[in-house]
Structure 1
Amino acid sequence: MKRIFSLSLILYSLIVFSSCNTTEVSTTTLSVKVPVEVADTTSTATKSEAMSYAFSQSLTESLEEDENLKEFIDNLKSLRVEDFYVKFSGIQSNQSIDSIDISIEGIGVIATFENIASSNPPQQPEINSSILVLIGNILKSEQELTVLVSGTTNSAPMNFVVETYFVLKIETSSP
C-alpha cells in the first residue's frame, strides 16, 4: 500500500509540474514607418507663397512580419501598449509639415502635430491610457495595426517618413 501511495504521489507530481506553464514578460517596440509622398497638383499659375499641399497615406504592420515580435506570437498571453512616440525623417531644411494627424484604424486620431521641421526631435504626445489599451486590444486580436497619417505641408513635391513607435509589454507563456 505504501508503495502504491508513493508511486501515485510521484505520478501526480510529474503531471502537475509538467503541465505548469511559465510566464515571461518582455518589453519590445513595434515600429510602423509610413512613407509619404506629397504631390504638386496645382498649376504654376495658381501657386502662392501661402499654399498648402494635402497628403494622406496609411500602412499596415503585421506582428508576424515584425522582427521584434514574431518570436512572441505563438505563446502570446497579453499585450499592452505602454508608450507611443513619433519621429519624422526626410524633411528638407526648406520644408515643413504644417499639420499632421496620426490615426489608428478602428480608433481614429490619436495624435496631432503642427509645424514639424527637419530639426524637430522625436515627439511623444500625451495619449489617454484608454486609447493605449484599445491599441493593444487591436494588436492582440487582429495581429496587425494600420496607421494612417494625413495633413498638409508647405511645399510639394515632398517626400518624408512618419516613424511611429509603440512600446509594448508582452506576456507569453512557455510550454
Structure 2
Amino acid sequence: MYKIVLSTCMILGLVSCQNLPMKSDSKKTDSTTKPQAKEIRNANGVVIKTYELDEIKREKLHTAPSSTTKQKLEDGESLPAYKNLMSQAKTSYNAGQFDKAEGLILQAQRLAPQSADTYLYLSLVALQKNNAKNAESLARRGLSFAQTNTMKRQLWLTIQRAAQKQNNAKSVAESKNALKSL
C-alpha cells in the first residue's frame, strides 16, 4: 500500500512540473517595430525623450483632500510625572535656582521629548546663564513642536531676546516678522 501511494505521488509530481503551452496573445508586437520617441526641449536646451509604450499607462493620481484641522500631537504633557517635574522646575526657575530648574526640565523632557514647553524653559535657563546661542537653538527646536500661537509667540520672543544678546540683526528681524504674523 505504501509503495502505491508513494508511486502515485511521484507521478502526480512529475505531471504537475511539465510546462503547459501559454495562451497566445492576440496583441503581439513585432520585434522590429520600435516605439517612436517624442523630443521635448526645455529652456536650457536639454532634450527629453519620451516613449509612448502600450505597457506603460500614465494616470493622474487622486489624492485625498487635506483637512484644515491640525492633528493633536501626543507630546506626553498629560503625564502626571511630567506635570510634577515641570511644576517643580518652574518654581526653581522663579526662585533663581537655574541649575536645579535645568535638571528638572531635562528629566521632564525625557518623559515628553516632543513638548515645546521643555524647550521654552531650557532656552530661558540658557538665557539666564548668558548662553544666547544655545537659547536661540533650543527655542527654534521648540518651534517645531509648538501647537498654539501662544507657545509660538513665547518661543519667538525668546529667540528675539537671544538674538539681541548676540547682536544678530538677521535673527531679530526674522523674529519680529514672525511675531507680526502670529
TM-score surpassing 0.5?
Answer: no
More strand as a share of residues: 1
More helix as a share of residues: 2
TM-score (normalised: structure 2):
0.20
TM-score (normalised: structure 1):
0.21
